[in-house]
Amino acid sequence: MASRCLFFAGCLFTFFSAAHAQSTSFSLTIHDDQIIPSELEVSAGLIELAGKNPRVAGSAELESDAQLRREKVVPAGEQVTVYVGPLRPRKYEFFDDFHPAVRGHLIVR
């Protein structure tokens, strides 16, 4: 039993280490009226998004409920990291759930 647990733990470690090593990092800044850049063109695979909220007051929520299936609150003046993928080629929409008109796109090639 113990050898099975060690084998399983080793497999998980290898998978997550490899996935993290192969991720591509991108930064987004969420302002009151826009996400900069509003479009990110990336290669297929695992993507690491660093979402920054430079607002002095007021949180943002980086969300893509149906397409990327992620949501993460970004407190005022802070940054969060969100991992998505692996992604297939297509256009994915995300938005600030607290300000739904503020939208961006991840274009996977």
pLDDT tens for each residue of 1-16 = 544 433 444 433 444 4
Domain that holds residue 28: 23-108
Q: What is the pTM of this model?
A: 0.70
pLDDT value of residue 22: 57
Assigned domain for 16 exists: no
pLDDT tens for each residue of 54-101 = 998 999 998 887 788 899 999 999 999 999 888 889 999 999 999 889
Question: Residues 95, 19, 15, CA angle at the centre, nearest 5°?
Answer: 130
Assigned domain for 15 exists: no
- Strand spans (E) along 3-98: 24-30, 35-36, 39-42, 45-53, 60-64, 70-74, 78-87, 90-96
CATH classification of the domain holding 29 = 2.60.40.420
Q: Who has greater pLDDT, 23 or 63? A: 63
Q: Is the pLDDT of residue 43 over 70?
A: yes
Assigned domain for 60 exists: yes
